[in-house]
């Protein structure tokens, strides 16, 4: 087993409130579209006035070959569509997946929490003998990965990664390591999260959401001093990571490369002494892993989501690792906080930005936090970069950094 | 081609229904102690079965110095206890190591189910207003590893791999890779799951819970028994362990991960065979060298016969000579902790030259015709042991431990 093989990206697929194609999502990001509105898939009175970024009129059968989609819950359906789009983009046909081994890594924070809650509540209301056996098989936290593997015939490593809102980015770093070391030749990796009754109510009760009502539509803006929290979004985003030699052998198109990643933790985060140092150290390790000096990074796709304290820590970490000259975007202004899906969405945005020469602005950024010195902008800007950094920092202390190049 | 660094087990921490700490646990296991008893953590009067493998009388307070016990769920408490015990067993004082060089990797099936159960009780009981911040702060499963790292002050790689009942093996596999890649010097790798109404309801609904006892591989086996617990292995590179004069239990020699991609809950066997073969290939081991298999061995009709057939297929002519036992006969099925506890058993078997029995074994089943170490522990050198784990989602994970050369 060779210790380090170059890893390339051969496909990308994403679905979120902004659209269901990477290029359309990216165009909406650059246009500063903020697709927030009242939720339609959960009871309107869950948190009165709370707005979210939903995938409206989601119709999985539009993307999938004919089959029985009934066993998949909303989380699983978003995931199977995201993976379908990525596999199709990479040219990994069903026939090819039957004869060769492809694996799957799914990042998710809450997985199918609505299915789990409904399963339990039905047993509480009617008695355990009335609980749904189908819902139980979807109640394990790796159910999306299992259901997608069945639908997409992915027989390789099948892993689920949980690191809160850093799950998707950690899933990509985990996949990178497995392909690099020869444990897998091809992995579909990314993340998924849906807007659910449990997540909207739970985040609201934890005071992590922008206040509802009229002000809600102006909430969830990263790096803005006037913000009071995030707005939830949903979606799925996946990339196909492949050993360069495997991709070359099948004549695949290469979208970009993943030269390095790192995973870290801020042990002060849960005790109120969290800072930016742990993420700064994680970024430094990712750059070392990639063999790229700090000065070689041309753009950053950050995880900030409108929590001023957390956003400041991420900005401080980026400044400590890269200085203040590198342009930074934070797409949760437009996608909402998509939790497990967000790291992969940020990564796709970084790749599209480098390919198209435009870095999406941070829509709604009206009062930039004066203590933040990194280079942020409300407006979409021209970009000339071939190496980008993607970062994630969670309230629980999870730190992730990934380097992508084109 | 450079061989990858060797990874060894230098500490073990366990919290189980038959013993807390490696010494009491191993002694109880070899004595064939049963940890299954009437369920006390919730009312089972509406269920047809009433037994479980609860860890009764567990007090988290002695293990917590930085965090408060009420700031986390029970899986986090079990995980911290197992982590402290493992570090103590390894002779590693948390303050003596570079924080960024120590990572935490946990598997789980359900995360912190008591928090969604409380949410559901409040919602069903008309007390939605009482749902507070604790749901989002403590329910998400990644908080298990976060709480461990926050309590111990570790800033290295950190996440949870919630791949259901194979999760412990997944967490150990990733930890070993992280050590090989140089991402950490020490990894705490394990699994934790707590007794849960949701899990109990699900298995009851599937008709999978045994009424009186767990009898893996017995002709009259009547099912599994839900349990709880945690186990942590301290993993280090062999050169580091040798340099500090650490006691080494075993070398973690290799692993294999696959997915059936066929059915969410019914094991197919072919994926299990591929996982065992991949693990042996990765470890450079032939079937003849494996002395002991810690079986998944849940005690359900389907699992035990499919697993037996898979072992026979993967081991060929060597199958009759390998001893196969299931400690689930004693602990019940501890879910995401199971394969971590069983990995600890494999390391102990290699180190101590002993194999725990499959208790409650009375009547041979023609479809389960291997050597299951019936009822009595066996003293015998174990140069190589294999740990098998299978899960909802079609996940299969085999990990190999072998005697460590100096």
Using an 8 Å CB-CB cutoff, list chain A residues near B136.
199, 202-203, 205-206, 208
CA distance B44 to chain A (A): 10
Q: Which of B147, B194, B296, B368 is catalytic?
A: B296
B129 assigned to some structural domain: yes
CA distance A137 to chain B (A): 6
Catalytic: B50?
no
User: Do B116 and A264 count as a contact with CB atoms less than 8 A apart?
Assistant: no
Give the total residue count for chain A. Answer: 406
Residues of A numbered 57-86 whose beta carbons fall under 8 angstroms of chain B's beta carbons: which are they? Answer: 71
Answer for the pair A1, A181: CB distance below 8 angstroms, yes or no: yes
Nearest to B140 among A110, A133, A269 (CB): A110
Residue A213, pLDDT > 70, answer no
CA distance A24 to chain B (A): 31
Domain residue limits, chain A: 7-256, 260-405
pLDDT at A215: 58
Question: Does residue B366 sit in the same domain as residue B395?
Answer: yes
Residues of B numbered 147-186 whose beta carbons fall under 8 angstroms of chain A's beta carbons: which are they? Answer: 147, 149-150, 152-164, 167, 170, 174, 177-178, 180-181, 183
**Average pLDDT, rounded, for chain A:** 96
Answer for the pair B397, B260: CB distance below 8 angstroms, yes or no: no
B362 assigned to some structural domain: yes
Catalytic: B165?
yes
Tell me the count of A-B CB pairs closer than 8 A: 261
pLDDT tens-digit map of A23-34? 999 999 999 999
Q: Which residue of A has its CA nearest to B160?
A: A162
Please state, for a pLDDT cut of 90, what percent of chain A lies above it: 95
* CA atoms of B24 and B115, how far apart (whole Å): 31
Question: Does residue B100 sit in the same domain as residue B140?
Answer: yes
Residue A166, pLDDT > 70, answer yes
B250 assigned to some structural domain: no
A176 touches chain B (CB under 8 A): no
φ, ψ of residue A114 to 5 degrees: the values are -70, -40
* CA atoms of A399 and A280, how far apart (whole Å): 9
**How many beta carbons lie within 10 A of that of residue B71, not counting itself?**
18
Range of the domain at B326: 255-402
pLDDT tens-digit map of A349-383? 999 999 999 999 999 999 999 999 999 999 999 99
Closest among B113, B109, B110, B115 to B135, alpha carbons compared: B115
**In this structure, CATH architecture of domain A260-405:** 3-Layer(aba) Sandwich (3.40)
pLDDT at A1: 40
Question: Does residue B206 sit in the same domain as residue B57?
Answer: yes
B248 assigned to some structural domain: no
Mutate to test the interface with A, among B133, B183, B264 (most CBs of A within 10 A): B264
pLDDT tens-digit map of A102-160? 999 999 999 999 999 999 999 999 999 999 988 999 999 999 999 999 999 999 999 99
φ, ψ of residue A330 to 5 degrees: the values are -140, 95
pLDDT tier at A214 (50, 70, 90 boundaries)?
low
B26 assigned to some structural domain: yes
Mutual angle of helices B197-205 and B113-124, in 10-degree steps: 90
B107 touches chain A (CB under 8 A): no
| Tokens (6 digits) for A241 | 């990571």
Mutate to test the interface with A, among B79, B131, B144, B162 (most CBs of A within 10 A): B162
**How many beta carbons lie within 10 A of that of residue A370, not counting itself?**
7
User: Do A142 and B260 count as a contact with CB atoms less than 8 A apart?
Assistant: no
CATH, domain range A7-256: 3.40.47.10
Helix or strand (DSSP H, E) at B198: helix B197-205
Catalytic: B333?
yes
pLDDT at A212: 76
> Which residues sit opposite B186 in a β-bridge?
B102, B236
Domains contained in chain B, number = 2
Q: CATH number of the domain that B367 lies in?
A: 3.40.47.10
Block mean pLDDT (10 aa), chain B, length 406: 88 98 98 98 96 98 97 98 98 95 98 98 97 98 98 98 97 97 96 97 96 98 98 98 97 97 90 98 98 98 97 98 98 98 98 98 98 98 98 96 88
Question: Does residue B202 sit in the same domain as residue B307?
Answer: no
* CA atoms of A35 and A17, how far apart (whole Å): 6
B66 touches chain A (CB under 8 A): yes
Closest among B333, B356, B346 to B383, alpha carbons compared: B346
Using an 8 Å CB-CB cutoff, list chain B residues near A396.
140, 142-143, 146
Q: Which of B194, B214, B333, B351 is catalytic?
A: B333
């Amino acid at each position: 087993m060779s210790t380090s093989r170059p890893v390339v990206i051969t496909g990308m697929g994403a679905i979120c409130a902004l659209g269901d194609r990477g290029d359309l999502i990216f165009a909406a990001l650059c246009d500063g579209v903020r697709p927030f509105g009242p939720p339609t898939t959960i009871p309107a009175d869950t948190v009165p006035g709370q707005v979210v970024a939903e995938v409206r009129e989601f119709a999985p059968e539009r993307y999938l070959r004919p089959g029985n989609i009934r066993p998949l819950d909303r989380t699983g359906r978003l995931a199977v569509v995201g993976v379908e789009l990525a596999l199709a983009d990479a040219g990994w046909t069903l026939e090819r997946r039957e004869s060769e081994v492809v694996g799957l890594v799914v990042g998710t924070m809450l997985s199918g929490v609505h299915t789990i809650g409904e399963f339990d509540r039905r047993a509480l209301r009617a008695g355990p003998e009335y609980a749904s056996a189908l819902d139980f098989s979807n109640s394990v936290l790796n159910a999306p990965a299992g259901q997608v593997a069945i639908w997409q015939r992915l027989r390789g490593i099948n892993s689920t990664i949980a690191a809160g809102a850093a799950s998707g980015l950690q899933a990509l770093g985990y996949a990178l390591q497995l392909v690099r070391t020869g444990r897998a030749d091809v992995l579909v990796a990314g993340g998924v999260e849906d807007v659910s009754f449990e997540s909207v109510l739970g985040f609201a009760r934890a005071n992590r959401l922008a206040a509802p009502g009229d002000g809600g539509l102006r909430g969830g803006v990263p790096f803005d001093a006037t913000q009071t929290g995030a707005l939830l979004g949903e979606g799925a985003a996946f990339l196909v990571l492949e050993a360069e030699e495997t991709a070359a052998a099948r004549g695949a198109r290469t979208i970009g490369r993943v030269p390095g990643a790192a995973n870290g933790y801020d042990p002060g985060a849960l005790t109120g002494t969290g800072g930016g140092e742990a993420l700064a150290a994680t970024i430094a390790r990712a750059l070392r892993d990639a063999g790229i000096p700090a000065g070689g990074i041309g753009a950053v796709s950050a995880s900030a989501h409108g929590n001023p304290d957390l956003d400041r820590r991420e900005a401080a970490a980026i400044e400590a690792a890269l200085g203040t000259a590198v342009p930074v975007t934070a797409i949760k202004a437009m996608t909402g906080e998509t939790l497990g899906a967000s790291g992969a969405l940020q990564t796709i945005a970084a790749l599209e930005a480098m390919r198209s020469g435009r870095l999406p602005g941070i829509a709604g950024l009206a009062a930039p936090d004066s203590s933040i010195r990194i280079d942020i902008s409300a407006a979409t800007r021209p970009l000339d970069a071939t190496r980008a950094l993607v970062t994630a920092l969670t309230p629980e202390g999870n730190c992730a950094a990934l380097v992508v190049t084109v | 081609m450079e061989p990858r660094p060797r990874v060894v087990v230098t500490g073990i921490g366990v919290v189980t229904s038959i013993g807390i700490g490696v010494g009491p646990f191993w002694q109880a296991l070899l004595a064939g102690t049963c940890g299954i008893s009437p369920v006390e953590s919730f009312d089972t009067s509406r269920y047809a079965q009433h037994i479980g493998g609860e860890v009764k009388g567990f007090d988290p307070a002695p293990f917590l110095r930085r965090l408060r016990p009420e700031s986390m769920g029970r899986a986090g408490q079990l995980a911290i206890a197992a982590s402290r015990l493992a570090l103590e067993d390894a002779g590693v004082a948390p303050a003596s190591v570079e924080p960024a060089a120590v990572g935490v990797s946990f598997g789980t099936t359900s995360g912190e189910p008591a928090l969604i159960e409380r949410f559901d009780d409040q919602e069903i009981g008309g007390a939605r207003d009482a749902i507070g911040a604790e749901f989002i702060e403590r329910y998400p499963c990644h908080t298990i590893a976060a709480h461990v790292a926050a309590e111990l002050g570790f800033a290295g790689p950190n996440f949870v791999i919630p791949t259901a009942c194979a999760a412990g093996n997944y967490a150990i596999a990733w930890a070993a890779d992280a050590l090989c890649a140089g991402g950490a010097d020490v990894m705490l790798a394990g699994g934790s799951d707590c007794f849960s109404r949701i899990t109990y309801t699900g298995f009851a609904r599937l008709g999978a819970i045994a009424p009186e006892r767990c009898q893996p591989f017995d002709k009259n086996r009547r099912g599994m028994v839900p349990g709880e617990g945690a186990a942590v292995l301290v993993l280090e590179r062999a050169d580091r362990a040798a340099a500090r004069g650490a006691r080494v239990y075993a070398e973690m020699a290799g692993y294999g991960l696959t997915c059936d991609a066929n059915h969410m809950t019914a094991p197919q066997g072919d994926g299990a065979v591929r996982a065992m073969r991949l693990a042996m290939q990765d470890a450079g081991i032939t079937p003849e060298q494996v002395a002991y298999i810690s079986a998944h061995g849940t005690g359900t009709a389907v699992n035990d016969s499919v697993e037996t057939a898979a072992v026979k297929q993967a081991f060929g002519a060597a199958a009759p000579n390998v001893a196969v036992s299931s400690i689930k006969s004693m602990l019940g099925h501890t879910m995401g902790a199971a394969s971590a506890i069983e990995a600890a058993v494999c390391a102990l078997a290699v180190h101590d030259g002993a194999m725990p029995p499959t208790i409650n074994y009375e009547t041979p089943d023609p479809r389960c015709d291997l050597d299951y170490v019936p009822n009595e522990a066996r003293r015998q050198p174990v140069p190589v042991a294999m740990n098998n784990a299978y899960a909802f989602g079609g996940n299969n994970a085999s990990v190999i431990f072998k005697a460590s050369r100096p």
